[in-house]
Structure 1
Amino acid sequence: MSIYDFEVKDTQGNMVSLSEYKGKVLLIVNSATKCGFTPQYTELNEIFNEFKDEGFVILDFPCNQFGNQAPGTGEEIAATCRSEYLVPYPIFEKIEVNGENEEPLYA
C-alpha cells in the first residue's frame, strides 16, 4: 500500500485523500499544542516557508495520547495553531499514533 492510498480526516471531518499530495515531499508530524516541544512550530513554519515553492508540505496530525498535551477538538487546535503560531500548512483531525485506535497512516 502506498502512502497515497490513505485517506485522513481534516478538522471539519471531511475525508482527504493523500493522493492530493502526490509528487510533493511530505513531512508528516504528530503534534501537541500544550507541550514542551510546542516551540517546534516556529522551526516547522520556517522549513515549510523555505521549501514550499519546491513542492514541500508538512501534514500536521495533533495527538492527545501523551499527557493530555493536545486538548480540545481538532478545530480548536487548528485555530490555536493558526492564531498563536501562524501555522500555514494543513492541520488534520486529532489522531492516536499508537495503540488500539492507532491511525492507519501511522501503522
Structure 2
Amino acid sequence: MSQLLDIPCTTIKGEEKRLKDFSAKAYLVVNTASKCGFTPQYKGLENLWQKYKDQGLVVLGFPCNQFGKQEPGNEGQISEFCELNFGVSFPLFKKVDVNGPEAHPLYVALKKQAPGLLGSQGVKWNFTKFLVSADGAEVQRFAPVAKPEDLEGEIQALLK
C-alpha cells in the first residue's frame, strides 16, 4: 500500500484521519473554495459521492485559501456554507495550503505522483482534482475546468 494513504490529515471537525481509514476503492481529493467561480462544482462532487459511495468512492474536500483568497472563512463557516448551499455530506478537512513551503504533505505527495502540465509540481487553482486508486499507487490529476461528472468513466474503472 502506498505511503500516500498513510499521511495524517485533520478533518474539519478536528479528527485525525488517513485516506486508508476510509477503506475506499477510489479516492477523489479536491482542493475547494467557497468564493470561486468553480464553487458550484460542490454540487457535482456531492452527486458523485451519493452515486458511488456504496461502491467504494470517497470524495474528500480540502479547503484552500491560496488562490485569490477565495476561502476566507474558518472551519465552522466553511462547513456550514457547504452544507447549506450544496448539501455537502462528503468528508471535509481543515483548510490547507496545497503549494509552497507550508503545503500539506498529502498535496506534496499527490503532486509528485501526478504532475501537472509540462511536469509542473504546482496546483494551479481551486478545484484541481486528484483521483487515487485503492492502493494509492495510481493517481490521476484533473484540471479545475474538469466537471466532476466528467470523471465518471475513470471513477467507474477504479470501482470495478
Same fold (TM over 0.5): yes
- Does structure 1 residue 88 correspond to structure 2 residue 93? no
Tell me if 1:104 matches 2:66: no
1:28–1:61 Cα contact (<8 Å) kept: yes
Query: Secondary structure of 2:91's match?
Result: coil
Structure-1 residue corresponding to 2:112: none
Higher helix residue share: 2
Whether the 8 Å contact between 2:24 and 2:58 is mirrored in structure 1 is no
Q: Aligned partners of 2:91, 2:47: CA distance in 1, in Å?
A: 15
Q: Which runs of 5+ in 2 are unaligned?
A: 109-160
After superposition, what is the alpha-carbon deviation per residue over 1:39-74, rounded to whole angstroms, capped at 9, x for unaligned? Answer: 101111111111111011100000000111011112
Amino acid at match of 1:43: G
Identity across the alignment (%):
41
- Runs of 4+ residues deviating >4 angstroms: none
1:76 is aligned to 2:86: no
Structure 1 residues not aligned, in runs of 5+: none
Q: Is the 8 A contact 1:10 1:91 kept in 2?
A: yes
Residues 1:6 and 1:26: Cα distance change in structure 2 (over 3 Å): same
Kept in 2: contact 1:6–1:18 (CA 8 A): yes
TM-score normalised by length of structure 1: 0.92
User: What amino acid sits opposite 2:48 in the alignment?
Assistant: I
Aligned-pair RMSD on alpha carbons? 1.2
Number of aligned residue pairs: give it: 107
**Which residue does 1:34 correspond to in 2?**
35
* TM-score of the superposed pair, with normalisation by structure 2: 0.63
Q: What whole-Å deviation, never above 9, does each CA across 1:6-62 have from its counterpart, x for those lacking one? A: 110112322112221234310000000101001101111111111111011100000
Task: Give the letter aligned to residue 88 of structure 1.
Answer: S
